[in-house]
């Protein structure tokens, strides 16, 4: 039996999002810039936010990459490009393996849905048949321990219950490549040990992971490589401890010179 090679590669990746009506809508231009990061550039008399600039990464089985950077550095834009949410303008993304994303929690969720309905909807997106859907739903419900709340509207859930539902859904779909934005957690201290155990099993099954987070502890716990980003560019790519040290070495003058606002 031939073992399939799993990899994720970006070659010369560039991503620019257009800004409409910038001459009259300064607020929209600045809001978009802050939302996606990058720098404002002009091309053919039109303005764009350049979210990614000449990104080059190759990840293979066993790689756990942490994306490090200030708010608006391009971390989420890169994750969205890797997942196919944002089509890159130039360059190339090559993927071998099934991708699962934990980028926007609760996409498609209605507060009037219950947990069972939400899980069934996620199974439809995955293309599961009736039996697979029933098995998946039962497995996740048993894990997150919602009890009778599983059939009550999600708007009645506590923040911890919602976090358990969202996070647990993400780590039960099998995948080769896992993309995570701003870490992953169950939101409930009493549930965290059980969740961490399942998360370790999930990461062990996933061949490649890319995680964006502001938490150095979280990055050191789950990642073995790190990429430091600023204004859509990768400034450093290497071992996670070295990447964190490099980011810390970027003193305030660097950010002030480049007009970068550092996030927490």
Q: What is the pLDDT of residues 183-212, one digit of tens each?
A: 566 656 667 778 888 888 887 788 999 999
In this structure, the answer to whether residues 166 and 132 fall within a common structural domain is yes
Query: What is the rounded CA–CA span in Å between residue 59 and residue 7?
Result: 6
Q: How many domains in the chain?
A: 2
The verdict on residue 237 lying in a domain is yes
Judgement on whether residues 120 and 41 belong to the same structural domain of the protein: no
Q: What is the pTM of this model?
A: 0.77
Percent of the chain topping pLDDT 70: 79
pLDDT digits (tens, 9 = 90+) for 12-70: 999 988 776 544 443 344 444 444 455 676 666 777 788 899 999 999 999 999 999 98
Is residue 67 one of the residues assigned to a domain?
Answer: no
Residue 24, pLDDT score: 42
Residue 149, token pair as written in the block? 């709340």
Strand 208-212 and strand 177-181: pairing? parallel
Using alpha carbons only, what angle is made at residue 203 by residues 201 and 208, rounded to the nearest 5 degrees?
Answer: 150
**Rounded Cα–Cα distance for residues 256 and 264 (Å):** 16
75 contacts 229 by C-beta, under 8 angstroms:
yes
Do 45 and 92 fall into the same domain?
yes
Q: Is residue 108 part of a domain?
A: no
Does a structural domain hold residue 249?
A: yes
Same domain, 164 and 232: no
Q: Please indicate, yes or no, whether residues 128 and 190 belong to a single structural domain of this protein.
A: yes
Based on the fold, state whether residues 194 and 163 are members of the same structural domain.
Answer: yes
How many whole angstroms separate alpha carbon 123 and alpha carbon 169?
10
Q: What is the pLDDT of residue 25?
A: 43
Instruction: Specify whether the CB–CB gap between 210 and 180 falls below 8 A.
Output: yes
Kind of pairing between the strands at 233-239 and 225-230: antiparallel
| Confidence bin at 112 (pLDDT 50/70/90) | very high
Please report whether residue 153 resides in a domain. Answer: yes
Question: Does residue 186 form part of some domain?
Answer: yes
In a domain, 51, yes or no: yes
What is the chain's percent helix, strand, coil content, to nearest 5?
Answer: 40, 25, 35
Q: Is residue 12 part of a domain?
A: yes
* Residue numbers of the domain that contains 158: 115-206
| 163 has a pLDDT exceeding 50 | yes
């Amino acid at each position: 039996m031939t073992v399939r090679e799993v990899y994720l590669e970006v070659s010369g990746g560039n991503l620019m999002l257009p800004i409409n009506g910038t001459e009259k809508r300064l607020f929209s231009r600045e809001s978009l810039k802050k939302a996606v990061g990058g720098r404002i550039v002009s091309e053919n008399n039109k303005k764009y936010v350049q979210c990614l600039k000449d990104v080059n990464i190759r990840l293979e089985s066993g790689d756990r990459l942490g994306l490090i950077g200030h708010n608006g550095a391009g971390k989420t834009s890169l994750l969205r490009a890797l997942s196919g949410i944002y089509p890159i303008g130039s360059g190339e993304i090559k993927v071998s393996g099934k991708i699962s994303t934990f980028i926007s929690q609760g996409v498609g969720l209605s507060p009037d849905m219950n947990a069972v309905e939400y899980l069934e909807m996620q199974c439809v997106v995955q293309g599961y048949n009736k039996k697979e859907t029933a098995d998946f739903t039962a497995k996740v419900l048993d894990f997150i321990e919602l009890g009778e709340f599983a059939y009550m509207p999600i708007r009645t859930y506590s923040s911890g219950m919602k976090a358990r539902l969202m996070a647990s859904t993400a780590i039960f779909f099998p995948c080769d490549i896992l993309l995570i934005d701003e870490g992953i957690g169950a939101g409930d201290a009493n549930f965290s040990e059980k969740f961490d155990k399942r998360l370790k099993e999930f990461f062990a099954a996933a061949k490649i992971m890319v995680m964006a987070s502001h938490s150095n502890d979280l990055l050191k716990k789950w990642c073995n490589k790190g990429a430091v980003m600023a204004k859509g560019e990768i400034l450093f790519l290497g071992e996670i401890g070295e990447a964190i040290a490099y980011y810390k070495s970027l003193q305030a003058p660097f950010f002030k010179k480049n007009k970068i606002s550092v996030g927490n």
